[in-house]
């Protein structure tokens, strides 16, 4: 499918919101949706959470209209997470239709000239983050979007719950795994800044010594990781050493992220968030898109090589490649040996003609396979068999 573009030639940017349950992801979706409407830039909104009861914003595509989550659980005898995963799998089979809808809305409509092409695509995902990020359906959806338009991951973090060094580091490791799993540009969104300011988190990400000081303070106070007392105090313990090591390791990881603090309740930081989205969209075109195209080209080359390999095996099995058959020949009786020697001279001429015919057939078959795009469908196999019979070949 062609990359959808508006009248200015710029494709829309897809923002995929992921986050832990309770991080305020759906409220954040509502806020950025309202912000774009206020800016007269109506977004294209997609809900991928089949288990949500109500969605506090208008959607263009809702998975609940295509897949009944409760019926999926009953039909396949699944639990809540299995029902969400299966619903996503069923919905992913329609990804081509979704991309067609997006493409139509990304260009001016002659029938509705007053309607502006979309510039932002907002996608809400299930609260069970691993069901989307690490599932086959999630990969299909993200890869399909990334092949059509710039795609940015917005990882929503509950700021008040990240105040301790251990929970902060857990969130950073989770973000790291999502970044390297999706291979897409990411924005860390520290939500609920109206409850707790996110400056401490930004400082921990940019100043290693600041994080070390906070870690020592928690250990000395005996409240390391939110646990009072125990063997964690006094600046010793396995967890303290582990967090020290991980904070050093993640310094390079932090440099690839954009960090914004927002409040979904008050709207604070939303403008900075969209500024980060625009920067990440440029980064996608500059750094990520060439890598995606390289991987796509590699898959096509592997597919072509596999097709040639299968063609060679087919030719060898059917003995049309000119190579001698590996089938074991019966040992002739001594009484008929002299008769076979007499017939051998007569067969030599026929064998030469057969080799020429086989080589010509192999060439014609390869040419026909290339013209047809290398299809391996069953009906193509039948047509090939008819072609051999028409050529009076003995298989």
Spatial separation of the C-alpha atoms in residues 93 and 76, rounded to whole Å: 18
Q: Is 330 helix (H, G, I), strand (E, B) or coil?
A: coil
pLDDT in the model for residue 116: 87
The number of residues making up the chain comes to: 395
pLDDT along the chain (395 residues), means of 10: 60 94 92 95 94 92 93 93 93 93 87 86 91 90 92 96 90 90 93 94 88 86 53 54 80 84 95 95 87 78 83 73 49 47 52 54 60 50 49 46
- Cα 369 off chain centre by: 31
Q: Dihedral (C-alpha) 293, 294, 300, 304: value to the nearest 10 degrees?
A: 150
pLDDT of residue 334: 45
CA atoms within 13 A on the CB side of 3: 17
CA dist 259 and 274 (Å) reads 12
- Which is it for the CA torsion 180, 183, 185, 186, positive or negative? negative
Query: In the prediction, which pLDDT does 387 show?
Result: 46
Specify the pLDDT at position 329: 52
Contact 198, 190 (CB under 8 A): yes
Q: Among the CATH numbers 3.40.50.300, 3.30.2310.20, 3.40.718.10, 3.60.10.10, which is that of 13-222+256-294?
A: 3.40.50.300
Q: How far is CA 59 from CA 48, 56, 116, 123, 245, in A?
A: 10, 9, 17, 10, 44
Do 191 and 28 form a contact (C-beta atoms < 8 A)?
yes
DSSP element (H, E) containing 19: strand 13-19
Sequence-ordered list of residues with C-beta below 8 angstroms from that of 72, at least 6 positions apart, any chain: 50, 78, 83, 86, 87, 90
């Amino acid at each position: 499918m062609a990359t959808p573009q508006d009248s200015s030639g710029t494709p829309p940017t897809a923002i995929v919101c992921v986050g832990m349950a309770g991080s305020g992801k759906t409220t954040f979706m509502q806020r950025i949706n309202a912000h774009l409407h206020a800016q007269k830039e109506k977004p294209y909104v997609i809900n991928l959470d089949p288990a949500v009861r109500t969605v506090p914003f208008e959607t263009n595509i809702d998975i609940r209209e295509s897949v009944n989550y409760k019926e999926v659980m009953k039909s396949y005898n699944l639990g809540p997470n299995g029902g969400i995963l299966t619903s996503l799998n069923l919905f992913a089979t329609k990804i081509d239709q979704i991309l067609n809808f997006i493409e139509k809305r990304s260009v001016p409509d002659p029938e509705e000239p007053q309607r502006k092409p979309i510039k932002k695509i907002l996608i809400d995902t299930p609260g069970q983050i691993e069901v989307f990020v690490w599932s086959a359906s999630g990969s299909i959806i993200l890869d399909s979007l990334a092949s059509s338009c710039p795609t940015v991951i917005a990882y929503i973090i509950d700021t008040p719950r990240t105040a301790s060094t251990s929970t902060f580091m857990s969130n950073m490791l989770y973000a790291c795994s999502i970044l390297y799993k999706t291979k897409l540009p990411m924005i860390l969104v520290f939500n609920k800044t109206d409850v707790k300011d996110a400056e401490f988190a930004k400082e921990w990400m940019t100043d290693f010594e600041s994080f070390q000081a906070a870690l020592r303070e928690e250990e000395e106070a005996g409240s390391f990781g939110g646990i009072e007392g125990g063997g964690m105090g006094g600046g010793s313990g396995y967890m303290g050493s582990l967090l020290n090591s991980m904070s050093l390791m993640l310094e390079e990881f932090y440099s690839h992220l954009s960090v914004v603090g927002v409040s979904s309740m008050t709207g604070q930081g939303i403008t900075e968030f969209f500024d980060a989205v625009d920067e990440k969209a440029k980064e996608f075109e500059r750094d990520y898109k060439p890598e995606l195209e390289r991987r796509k080209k590699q898959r096509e080359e592997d597919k072509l090589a596999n097709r040639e390999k299968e063609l060679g095996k087919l030719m060898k099995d059917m003995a049309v490649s000119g190579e001698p058959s590996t089938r074991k020949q019966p040992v002739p009786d001594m009484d008929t040996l002299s008769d076979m020697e007499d017939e051998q001279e007569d067969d030599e001429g026929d064998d030469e003609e057969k080799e020429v015919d086989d080589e010509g057939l192999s060439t014609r078959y390869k040419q026909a396979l290339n013209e047809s795009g290398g299809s391996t469908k069953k009906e193509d196999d039948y047509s090939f068999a008819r072609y051999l019979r028409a050529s009076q070949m003995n298989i």
